[in-house]
Structure 1
Amino acid sequence: MEQPAQRAPWMDDELVAFRDAIRRFIDREFVPNEARWAEQGHIDREMWRKAGEIGLLCASIPEAYGGGGGNFAHEAVITLELADALVSGFGNGVHSGIVAHYLLRYGTEEQKQRWLPRMATGELVAAIAMSEPGAGSNLRGIRTRARRMGEHYVLDGAKTFITNGLLADLVFVVAKTDPDAGAKGISILVLETAQAEGFRRGRLLEKIGQKGQDTAELFFDEVRVPAENLLGGVAGQGMYQLMQQLPQERLIIALGAAASMARAVQLTVEYTQKRDVFGQPLWQMQNTRFKMAECATKATIARSFVDECMVLQLKGELSSEQAAMAKWWTTQANCEVIDECLQLHGGYGYMLEYPIARMYANARVSKIYGGSNEIMKEIVARGFD
C-alpha cells in the first residue's frame, strides 16, 4: 500500500532543502545513539552543540538574535523529521519551539540579546518548569513562590516532569509573585542554573517511554534570582504569556503525532507483507488489509488537519480551540493506530527490539503533556459559551 508523496501546502523549495539537511543530520548523529541515550536517560550534552552548529536549534528565531531566521514552518519540519526517525530523546521542541519563543515574544531586548544567541549555538540548554507534584494541568494551583527582596526574587518550591531538566542551563520557572492575586499573580522567572545556590536537580525520572528524553525533578530552596531575570520585566504577566504560547506548543505535539501515525502504518505494511501466517503473507488476510486501511485513513485525516492548522499558525490565525482540537484528536488517534499496528505484529510487537513497541510506549504520554486531552476538550467546549 504505497502512498503517493504529497507536499504539504505550507512547504516550499527552501523548506524541502532544509528538511533534507536535517534528515541527514538526524540519521547520522541521532539514530545510531537513540538506544544508548535510552539506557542513560538523556542525550549527550555535546549533541546540543552539534545541533547548534548545523542550524537545528532556534531555527525560527531571527538572525539578529543568533537564530536561523526562519519561521514556525522550520520548527515543524524538525519535529516531523524527528518523529519519522523515531527519535524521542531530543528535547528541541521545548528548547526551540517553546522556550525560545517565550523569550522572543515577551523578553526585554537585553534578555533576548543575553540568552537567545547562546541557545541557538547549544551553549545554553533551556527548559520551562510549569508542572508541580500537586498541580499538573491546573497552572493556577502552583505552589512555587517568588518573593521580591530588593534587587532579587527569592524562589521556593518544586517542579516535576521537566523536559531538559537534568541538562538545563536556563530554566523558565513559573511561580507566584503575588499569591493573593490569582492568575494575575503568576510570573515567569528565568533561572541561570550555573552556581545558583539553593537550586537542586532531583532524580532523573524513569518513564514508560521516551526513555532517552531528559526528564527531571527540580527543587528551589531560597534561590536568589536577579529581578532583571523576570521575563519581560513586569510581574503578573505569566498566565497571559503561557496562554498565548500554548497553542503553538500543542501544534508541535500534534505534528509529532501525525508523523508518528504515518510511520507506524509504513512499518506495519512492510512487516505484514514479509510475515507468513498459515502459508501466506499476513498482508493477504482481509482483516490485515481492512485494519491498515483504517489506520492509513486516520493518518491521512490527521495530517490534513494538522497541515490546515499549520497554514493558520503561519498566518497568526490559529485559535486556542483549533490547537486544542489538533492536540487531543491526533494524540488519541496516534495511540489507536499504533495499538492496531502492534497487534498485527503479534508477539513481536511486544518486544522492544521492534520499533512499533517503542512507539507504543512513547506515544502514551502525548495524551497527557501539553495539557491533558480532557483539558483540551474543555477548551474546545468553551468556544461555544
Structure 2
Amino acid sequence: MNILNYTEEHHEFRKRLQDYFAKEVTPYAAKWETDHIIPKEAWKKAGKAGFLCTSVSKEYGGIGGDFIYSAIVCEEMTKTFQTGLAMSLHSDVVVPYIDEYGSEELKKRFLPGCVSGDIVAAVAMTEPDAGSDLSSLTTTAVEDGDEIIISGSKTFISNGIHCDAVIVAAKDPAVENPYQAMSLYVVEDGTPGFTRGRHLDKMGWHSQDTAELFFNDCRIPKANLLGEKGYGFLMLMGKLQQERLVCAMGAVYGARQVIDGAVEYFKTTKDASGKPLSKYQAVQFALVEMETDVRIAETFIQKLIADHMEKADIKTETSMAKYWTTDLANRVSGRCLEMMEDFGMVEQNPMVQAWRDFRITSIFAGTNEIMKFIVAKLMQL
C-alpha cells in the first residue's frame, strides 16, 4: 500500500523516466563508475528530456510539479546504481535556494539553465576545518562598492567539477555573531578568483564529481546575494528539512534495491545438492527481518513525503529519518554481502558498489550523530 496520491500524470512521468534511464543512463553506469566521473553532456540530456528541477514553475522552464515527481526521480535513480548524475541533489537540494530566495533577476538568469541542464548547480558549505558546525565557517564575503569579494576554500563539494553555478556560504568578518554574519551568494563558473582543486577520490560514489573549491579574492556582483544579507544561516536551516528527507528517500529506495536483489540471488543460487539457498531457514529469517525493516522505512518515508507536501513542520521526523534510514541501508547492504560469502566480495556484484555508496550517507547532510543531537534538543532533553 502506498499512501501517496499518485495521479495518471505521475505514472506517465515514471514510465518516461524509466525508458530514459534504460537508454541514456544504465548502459553507461559501469563506465562512469570506472571513469570516476560522468560526461557533462549527461546533465543536458536529462534536462532536455524534462527530468531536472520538476518543482520549478513553468515561468522559468519547469513543469511546476509537486514533490511526488521528485520522489519518483529519486526512486528510479537508485535502480541505475550510479551516483554521478545526482539529479536529486541538483533539483531538490541546491536549486530550491535560488527558486525560493533568489531575486527575480537571479531566477531568470539561473533557473531556466538549471531546468535544461545547461547549468549544473552545487552548494558549498563544508570547509577543511568546518563541517557540521556551520558557525565555524571561515570563508569571508566583504562588500566593495557594487561587488562582493569572497575569499576562502570549500571541500567535499558534490558536483564540484561540473558545476556552472555554486551557492557559497560566507561570513562578513565585521559581524561578530557567526550566525548573523553568514550570507549565501551565487558564484558562476569562470569568475576570476574562483578555481577548482582536486577531484577527490572516494571510497564510494565514484562517478560523482566531488571537489575542492577555492575563492581567491573572487569578485561577484552584489546582486548575486540570495535573500537578505545576514540571513544565510536561517536559509540553510530552512532547507534542511527537504535535504534530510531527500537523503532518507535515497537510503530507503536504495535499500529496497538491495533487498530485492538479495532475494532474487538466494532464490536462484543453489547449493551442491541443487537446493536453492532461499530454502534454508537461516537465510529465510535474515531476509524476512530485512524485508520487514525496509517496509517499515518505506511507510515512514511515504508519510513524511505527504506531510512535507502539506508544508508541515517535520524537522524532528526528517532528522530521525535521515539517521535511521541511512543506518538501515548500511546494515542491510552489509548483511546481504556477508550472507553471499565469496560473491559478496566481487565487483561484478552490484551490491558491493551499493555498500560502498551507502557509507557516505551516514555522514553527509549532517552526520547521524548530529541528527540525534538535533532530535534530542527538539525533544527538550
TM-score class normalised by the smaller sequence = over 0.9
Q: Which residue of 1 aligns with 2:269?
A: 275
Q: Does residue 1:266 correspond to 2:256, yes or no?
A: no
Q: Secondary structure at the match of 2:180?
A: helix
**Residues 309 and 318 in structure 1, CA contact (< 8 A), matched pair in contact too:** no
Give, in whole Å, the separation in 2 of the partners of 1:289 and 1:8: 28
Matched AA of 1:250: R
Q: Which residue of 2 aligns with 1:100?
A: 95
- Which residue of 304, 318, 325 maps to 1:323? 318
Give, in whole Å, the separation in 1 of the partners of 2:214 and 2:341: 44
Q: Does residue 1:237 correspond to 2:231, yes or no?
A: yes
Identical positions, percent: 36
Q: Secondary structure at the match of 1:115?
A: helix
Give, in whole Å, the separation in 1 of the partners of 2:125 and 2:345: 34
Question: Which whole-Å deviations, capped at 9, do the CAs of 1:48-71 have from their partners, x for residues lacking one?
Answer: 111111111111111111112102
Segment drifting more, 52-61 vs 36-45: 36-45
Give, in whole Å, the separation in 2 of the partners of 1:244 and 1:144: 21
Question: Which whole-Å deviations, capped at 9, do the CAs of 1:163-193 have from their partners, x for residues lacking one?
Answer: 1100101000011124512201100010011
Q: Which residue of 2 aligns with 1:182?
A: 178
- Which residue of 327, 346, 354 maps to 2:349? 354
Deviation at 1:39, TM superposition (A): 2.1
**Residues 41 and 204 in structure 1, CA contact (< 8 A), matched pair in contact too:** no
Which stretches of structure 1, 4 residues or longer, exceed 3 Å deviation after superposition? none
Q: Which residue of 2 aligns with 1:254?
A: 248
Q: Secondary structure at the match of 2:25?
A: helix
Q: Does residue 1:378 correspond to 2:373, yes or no?
A: yes
Question: Which whole-Å deviations, capped at 9, do the CAs of 1:58-93 have from their partners, x for residues lacking one?
Answer: 111111111121022211110011012323221222
Show the 5 A alignment for 1:22-101: 22-101=17-96
Deviation at 1:41, TM superposition (A): 1.9
Matched AA of 1:106: Y
TM-score, normalised relative to structure 1: 0.96
- Which residue of 198, 218, 228 maps to 1:203? 198
Deviation at 1:246, TM superposition (A): 0.7
Q: Secondary structure at the match of 1:183?
A: coil
Give, in whole Å, the separation in 1 of the partners of 2:239 and 2:128: 23
Q: Which residue of 2 aligns with 1:3?
A: none
Deviation at 1:290, TM superposition (A): 0.3
- Which residue of 121, 143, 148 maps to 1:126? 121
Q: Secondary structure at the match of 1:184?
A: coil
Segment drifting more, 83-92 vs 341-350: 83-92
Give, in whole Å, the separation in 2 of the partners of 1:21 and 1:118: 22
- Cα gap change, 1:24 to 1:318, in 2 (>3 Å): farther
Deviation at 1:153, TM superposition (A): 0.8
Q: Which residue of 2 aligns with 1:308?
A: 303
**Residues 320 and 379 in structure 1, CA contact (< 8 A), matched pair in contact too:** no
**Residues 209 and 362 in structure 1, CA contact (< 8 A), matched pair in contact too:** yes
Give, in whole Å, the separation in 2 of the partners of 1:209 and 1:342: 16
Q: Which residue of 2 aligns with 1:136?
A: 131
Pairs aligned (count) = 378
TM-score, normalised relative to structure 2: 0.97
Question: Which whole-Å deviations, capped at 9, do the CAs of 1:276-315 have from their partners, x for residues lacking one?
Answer: 2242221111110000001100110110000000000000
Q: Secondary structure at the match of 1:181?
A: coil
Give, in whole Å, the separation in 1 of the partners of 2:55 and 2:3: 18
Q: Secondary structure at the match of 2:167?
A: strand
Q: Does residue 1:153 correspond to 2:148, yes or no?
A: yes
CA RMSD for the aligned pairs?
Answer: 1.1
